[in-house]
Amino acid sequence: MSEKIRINLKSDNEERKIEIKRDGNLLEALRENDVYIDAVCGGLGKCGKCRVFVDGKEYLACQIKVDEIRDNAIIEIPRDVDINLNSKNKAKILSESKIELEYDFSPIIKVVKVNLSKPKVNSKIADLDSLKNSLKDYLPISVDYELLSEIPKKIREFDWEFYALLGEEEKGNVLLGLYKERPEPLGVVVDIGTTTIVAQLIEISSKDIVMTISDTNRQVRFGEDVHSRMMYANEVLETSNCKDRYPLTTLVRAQINELVNDLLKGAKNQPIACIFVSGNTVMTQFLHGITTKYLMEEPWVPAATEFPVRFSNEFSIGCVNGRVPIYSSPCRSAYVGGDVISDIVASGMHRRNELSILIDVGTNGEVVLGNSDWLMCASTSAGPAFEGGEVKYGMRATEGAIERVRAKLVNNKVEFSISTIGNKPARGLCGSGMIELVAELFRLGIIDKAGNFSDTCQSVRKNNGEYEIPIIGDISIFDSDLKNIIRTKGALFAGIVTLLSSAGCKMDDVEKIYIAGGFGNYLDYRRGVLIGLLPDLPIEKFRYIGNGSIAGSRCMLLSKHARDDASKIVKSMENIELSYSNVFREEYNAALFLPHTDMGKFPNFERFMRELSEER
Amino acid sequence: MSEKIRINLKSDNEERKIEIKRDGNLLEALRENDVYIDAVCGGLGKCGKCRVFVDGKEYLACQIKVDEIRDNAIIEIPRDVDINLNSKNKAKILSESKIELEYDFSPIIKVVKVNLSKPKVNSKIADLDSLKNSLKDYLPISVDYELLSEIPKKIREFDWEFYALLGEEEKGNVLLGLYKERPEPLGVVVDIGTTTIVAQLIEISSKDIVMTISDTNRQVRFGEDVHSRMMYANEVLETSNCKDRYPLTTLVRAQINELVNDLLKGAKNQPIACIFVSGNTVMTQFLHGITTKYLMEEPWVPAATEFPVRFSNEFSIGCVNGRVPIYSSPCRSAYVGGDVISDIVASGMHRRNELSILIDVGTNGEVVLGNSDWLMCASTSAGPAFEGGEVKYGMRATEGAIERVRAKLVNNKVEFSISTIGNKPARGLCGSGMIELVAELFRLGIIDKAGNFSDTCQSVRKNNGEYEIPIIGDISIFDSDLKNIIRTKGALFAGIVTLLSSAGCKMDDVEKIYIAGGFGNYLDYRRGVLIGLLPDLPIEKFRYIGNGSIAGSRCMLLSKHARDDASKIVKSMENIELSYSNVFREEYNAALFLPHTDMGKFPNFERFMRELSEER
């Protein structure tokens, strides 16, 4: 019996033949062929996300053995299942930061013109000494042994005049290369989100964004949230005899390698000179190959706040020329990571006198409060609902995601009008779609304050013992989805209130609210207020900063001022552990309603209800 | 036909069966089996050093194809041929430095006790930050990514109290490991001589020398002197399509790996924490994998004076635990290298007011003149005669080498009485043996001032068109050997006179003469004066420092003061290019006699002649 079987794989109206190993289950076999089907539960058969049709019959890919599949079987992946077929599904991310660079230009990568005097018998100096003397503003300078071996030859080939490419290190700089002509170095900034990894190519001298791409974080198959991934990582590290004791590290490095490789297409022979990474603390420690065990245990201590500069070769990122430095945005605590520090840097809230709030609606939901004098932060563990997790037809903001929802009641039945990203056939709901959907259902009285479906609406139907409302095609919103969305928005709102309370401030004192996250651009903020996700403050106080993690990384790549700010922020910002806060517990319970138990916090609620109804 | 043949290999009365590849010549085939026969010419059939007997018939191993050898042939390696059969031939070096450490104890490797406060929910700090705070006297501290990944686990296992092992870097330190119990780190110092590599294991805290071993530098097969090796290296680098473009680099790193591995036997579970290397500039650049092309071309510019700290893994030195730093003694110029800087450090001449001369009688023959105010140096390109090169029965100072020679004339024939190192059967002449032999032959009138054999001595016979005097067994001294020895001693003496002349000093101003080199311990300095190798100064001015390269490396390993001194020396010492010096050219010609054309430079000549004759 052959060790492999052939299958016909159908997805998105495409079909291709691949060979898969007879071992193990179909989910694993497909992954070995670079077909990544998201399985939130890590292949335990619990999440039901990896549905496939084998010769027309539905299975969970993680539950069917390849052995049970006939040769030449037709395997169909339904349209609503999230897959990642090679790089095919990598979409341009759809929200670009609106933040302009407020910092001075002092990039982490420098190009320096060098003019050496040609040695003579009676006045000579060793090549490296001569080079270092000419770069004395950048000392100490470290030189990789491979590069050092080329220096004598290169400086003579270049006839003692050339350009040196330098990268910042903790002290001094690392020499990255010598060039006859002035190089135009590129930097790659990477946001390692728990759910999505975004990578962006920057031309350093012009500050131009050359290209942005994104991809589902492949670690998703080991759990949708950071906690289940840490559990898995720890289990492998402590009990398994696998050769690779850091599989999540290997995975994220390989994925960054692949993304950088894709970005290389935009590089036009310019050298990629560095990679600057922001991620939450768990993602950052996975990247650096550090156990996350102690992030799970009280008192939740991170391995580092400022992570050492690493090099591409150490992380098996081989797609760049030679050996380029990998910088990491610093992390404040176990659950307020480098992505939030980047958000703050991008927002500039730490440089202004006015009291500001920053909300990062990512998988964890972090909240920051403060101004140029002080900052405090907390992670709300809000959950991944707005990024597509814990919601049956949830998905991230890529093509085919419903991003806008309008609804009306006709004869006690809901009629939806939706729009999707890229105007593609609807595949699911992204964060903004969910907020709009819940706001519309609530506005129309189809769900009540507690998120329960109304008895009277005829669109509500029972499916597998649960209530749902169909939206379009197969896509529905379920009772349990609503509860998850409410929990998520409740945690975020409670986080805001708790920080205000800790600081002795009132909501009205807040002069700016920065919202970071993939959905920011599509959201009508009134609908966010209506469901109690956003505080009810005047619209002019809101600023969408889009992917603040990427924008902040870009600031740090381009400005020493921004890097110094980040370093100061992690040293001075107060971190509040919400799990120990009674205020948070009470506020969370109070926020598990639409919009809130305390309607006094939402003075414009009625006006927004009216306005939105009149807008149709 | 099989791709391999079996041979019976005989050497030193031992016999073993090995299989060798049918490809290429016997010299190469034996090398692939770790049997290194020294071939000074690099296998060109010119030096005649690689003599072997195949089934009783004599061949040059480099000139016979394996294809011409029958299966099960008996291959005999004559006793006088230098081989290196695995580690079998590695001998304890026989001269140990007489220098006591004059420096304060501030080793390059530090053990620091660390006591961290255990983090609590309300007072916690990231692990690495906490560790760095406790090591604030040693900042900046770099941490390898593999070590960083272990830190969180280790500090908890060690219950927040442990020892950190640190290694000095250009700025700050590198963290090398964490230990529950105080470690007793070891350092390895290595002298990469052109002819011999010496490695020594040092227990850092006690400054004890645990073990010393040495081995022929395997690069010898690519040429005996640095110049032919550089030519070879450059040819490979520029024209060959070999996979390994730096074969001499690979070879020296592999040999250091092997030597360190042998030293590990003396380590008793103590961590080897660093390797400190001294070598001439060519050897140092080979080690670092840097092209030596520009050391051969005017104006002879080295790649660096102070070489960056490297790590064992970068140099494929895998025998140590983890990743340990490799330090290099700095080099002054293309031909005054780290070995000479180490000599100076070991001698302490740079710390004293008195005018001193240092002579390193290695393969190149370097000379240093100066005191605590100034230093000048030169390389004389003396040649490898005293290390066994360019002399037919020359060998390095290992077992079986004739180190002491007394002669008398009986009926116009010479009778020799000799002693060998280790009292083993004589295999050849080492440096001290040559000096004593030439002095004795000269004293007895068997050779004249120009080094020509006397017509009247009946021991002189003709062999292959050349005159020789047999000494013992097959071992003879040839006319051409005498000329080479005289050229070598002449270059060294001329170097001394040239430096004195450049500095405007007289020989009598010199208050100390330090002699570094493998032969120092056996030499009667009067015989050195008699042949005009050493200046004719009172005996109390002479100091033998033995292997100053090893001793100086040990000083630098153990004392920051010594490291700082070395750094200052390379920055301030004047380097004289003798090839441009008319004084040197004249002095060299004048010194090609025994002892010299200017007998006024040797006032004690007659007294020494008399004393030595009376001593018999």
Q: What is the mean pLDDT of residues A432-458?
A: 94
Q: Do B580 and A308 touch (CB under 8 A)?
A: no
Phi/psi of residue B253, nearest 5 degrees: -65, -40
Q: How far apart are CA B220 and CA A331, in angstroms?
A: 54
Q: Are A489 and A534 in contact (CB under 8 A)?
A: no
Asked whether the beta carbons of B58 and B38 are under 8 A apart, the reply is: no
By C-alpha distance, the chain B residue nearest A310 is: B145
| Distance in angstroms (rounded) separating the CA atoms of residues A481 and A470 | 13
Within this chain, domains B109-179 and B186-328 share the same CATH topology: no
Nearest to A301 among B127, B293, B294 (CB): B127
Q: Which of B116, B120, B123, B124 to mutate to test the interface with A (most CBs of A within 10 A)?
A: B124
What was the pLDDT predicted at B43?
A: 62
Reported in sequence order, the residue ranges of B323-437 that DSSP labels E, i.e. its strands, are 325-328, 356-360, 366-370, 375-379, 401-410, 413-420, 428-429
How far are the Cα atoms of A122, B376, B511, B538 from residue B508, in angstroms, in the given order? 29, 18, 8, 10
Does A170 lie at the interface with B, CB-CB under 8 angstroms? yes
Nearest CA in chain B to A300: B121
| A156 inside 8 A of chain B by CB | yes
Tens-digit pLDDT profile for residues A269-307: 899 999 999 999 999 999 999 999 999 999 999 999 999
Residue in A126, A294, A304 nearest the CB of B305: A126
Residue bearing the bigger pLDDT, B596 or A33 = B596
Task: Look at strands A14-21 and A4-11 and give their pairing.
Answer: antiparallel
Provide the shortest C-alpha distance from residue B161 to chain A (in Å): 17
Distance from CA of B562 to the nearest CA of A (A): 21
Chain A contact for B153 (CB, 8 A cutoff): yes
Q: CB neighbours (10 Å) of residue A582? A: 8
For residue B286, the model assigns a pLDDT of 97
Query: Cβ of A48 under 8 Å from any chain B Cβ?
Result: no
pLDDT at position A366:
96
pLDDT band at residue B39 under the 50/70/90 scheme: low
Mean pLDDT, range A490-511, rounded to an integer: 97
Q: How confident is the model at residue A46 (pLDDT cuts 50, 70, 90)?
A: low
- Nearest chain A CA: its distance from B479 CA (Å): 37
As given in the structure block, the two tokens for residue A135 are: 């770069």
Q: Read off the pLDDT of residues A507-562 as tens digits, 9 standing for 90 and up.
A: 999 999 999 886 645 678 889 999 999 999 998 898 888 889 999 999 999 999 99
A193-202, B197-206, B378-387: lowest mean pLDDT where? B378-387
| Predicted confidence (pLDDT) at residue A100 exceeds the cutoff of 60 | no
What is residue A614's predicted lDDT score, i.e. its pLDDT?
Answer: 87
User: Within 10 A of B448 (CB to CB), how many other CB atoms are there?
Assistant: 14
pLDDT tens profile B53-75: 999 898 988 889 998 999 999 99
* Rounded Cα distance, B129 and A307, in Å: 10
Q: Is A181 helix (H, G, I), strand (E, B) or coil?
A: coil
- Give the per-residue pLDDT at A518: 63
Please, are residues A334 and A281 in contact by the beta-carbon 8 Å criterion?
A: yes
A148 near B CB under 8 A: yes
Q: Is the pLDDT of residue A567 over 60?
A: yes
Indicate if the pLDDT at residue B48 is higher than 80. no
The pLDDT, as a whole number, for residue A302 is 96
| Other Cβ atoms closer than 10 A to B577 | 18
Q: Which helix (H) or strand (E) holds A545?
A: strand A542-546
Per-residue confidence at B452, pLDDT binned at 50, 70, 90? very high
A362 — pLDDT class (breaks 50, 70, 90): confident
**Residue A300 with chain B: CB contacts under 8 Å:** 121, 124
A574 touches chain B (CB under 8 A): no
pLDDT at A217: 92
pLDDT band, residue A41 (cuts 50/70/90): low
Higher pLDDT, residue B192 or B94: B192
**Surface of A (295-334) touching B: CB under 8 A:** 298-306, 308, 310, 314, 331
What pLDDT is attached to residue A45?
67
For A141-159, what is each residue's pLDDT tens digit? 999 888 999 999 999 999 9
Q: Which helix (H) or strand (E) holds A567?
A: helix A560-572
How does DSSP assign B147-206, residue by residue? HHHHHHHHHHHTTTEEEEEEEE-SSSEEEEEEESSPP--EEEEEEE-SSEEEEEEEETTT
What interhelical angle do A582-590 and A479-503 show, nearest 10?
140
Residues of A in contact with B129 (CB under 8 A): 304-306
Indicate the pLDDT class of residue B98, thresholds 50, 70 and 90. very low
**CA distances, A439 to each of A361, A408, A431, A529 (Å):** 17, 12, 12, 9
Residue A86 — pLDDT band, cuts 50, 70, 90?
A: very low
User: What average pLDDT does this structure show over B582-603?
Assistant: 96
d(CA A277, CA B194): 47
Residue A490 is which amino acid? G
- Residue A98 scores a pLDDT above 50: no
* Interface touch B294/A120, C-beta < 8 Å: no
The helix (H) or strand (E) run that includes residue A529 is helix A525-530
Residue A442: the pLDDT is 96
Give pLDDT, residue A91.
Answer: 34
CB B273 within 8 A of CB B326: no
pLDDT at A84 over 70: no
Judge: A145–B119 Cβ closer than 8 Å, yes or no.
no
Give me the pLDDT at residue A83, please. 57
Domain locations in chain A as residue ranges = 4-85, 109-179, 186-328, 347-616
Mean pLDDT for the stretch of residues B301-310: 95
Half-sphere exposure of B604 (CA within 13 A, CB side): 17
By Cβ distance, the residue of B148, B171, B310 closest to A171 is B171
Read off the pLDDT of residues B535-563 as tens digits, 9 standing for 90 and up.
Answer: 999 988 988 888 899 999 999 999 999 99
Q: What is the mean pLDDT of residues B111-129?
A: 94
Determine which of B491-505, B514-528, B544-558 has the lowest per-residue pLDDT on average: B514-528
Task: Return the number of other C-beta atoms located less than 10 Å from residue A580's C-beta.
Answer: 12
* % chain A with pLDDT above 90: 65
Q: Is the CB of A580 less than 8 angstroms away from the CB of B300?
A: no
**Mean of pLDDT values over B506-529:** 84
Q: How far apart are the first and last CA of chain A?
A: 64
ipTM score of the complex?
A: 0.83
Size of interface A-B (CB pairs under 8 A): 126
Residue B5 has pLDDT above 70, yes or no: yes
Strands across the sheet containing B57-60 = B14-21, B4-11, B73-77, B51-54, B57-60
- Express each pLDDT in A317-328 by its tens digit: 988 878 999 999
**What pLDDT, on the 0 to 100 scale, is given for residue B83?**
57
CB contact under 8 A, A303 and B128: yes
| pLDDT at residue number B96 | 45
Residue A90 confidence (pLDDT) above 60: no
Q: What is the CATH number of domain A186-328?
A: 3.30.420.480
What is the overall mean pLDDT for chain B?
A: 89
CATH entry 3.10.20.880 includes domain A109-179 = yes
Give the per-residue pLDDT at A377: 98
- pLDDT, position A99: 56
A58 touches B: beta carbon within 8 Å: no
Dist CA A387 CA A361 (whole Å) = 8
Distance from CA of A454 to the nearest CA of B (A): 44
CB contact under 8 A, B152 and A291: yes
Q: Do B126 and A300 touch (CB under 8 A)?
A: no
Interface test with B, best of A138, A149, A245, A580 (most B CBs within 10 A): A149
Neighbouring C-beta atoms of residue A35, cutoff 10 Å: 23
Instruction: Kindly determine whether residue B288 and residue A153, on different chains, have CB atoms separated by under 8 Å.
Output: no
Per cent of chain B over pLDDT 70 is: 93
Helices B338-347 and B281-288: crossing angle in degrees, nearest 10, is 120
- A314 to chain B: which residues are within 8 Å by CB? 145
pLDDT band at residue B95, thresholds of 50, 70 and 90? very low
Angle at B486 between CA B480 and CA B487, to 5 degrees: 90
- Which CATH architecture is the domain A4-85 placed in? Roll (3.10)
Answer whether residue B90 shows pLDDT above 50. Answer: no
The residue among A439, A375, A308 whose CA lies nearest residue A576 is A375
For the stretch A382-429, pLDDT in tens is 877 888 878 999 987 777 889 889 999 999 999 999 988 878 899 999
Q: What one-letter code names the amino acid at B28? A: E
Contact A152 B301 (CB under 8 A): yes
Asked if residue B522 has pLDDT above 50, the reply is yes
Give the closest-approach CA distance of A300 to chain B in angstroms: 8
Q: Which of A496, A494, A460, A490 is nearest to A476 (CA)?
A: A460
Task: Look at residue A616 and tell me whether its pLDDT is greater than 80.
Answer: no
Looking at residue B363, its pLDDT comes to: 78
pLDDT at A32 over 80: no
∠ Cα B238 B242 B243 (to 5°): 115
Nearest to B140 among A121, A170, A302 (CB): A170
Residue B44: its pLDDT value, please? 62
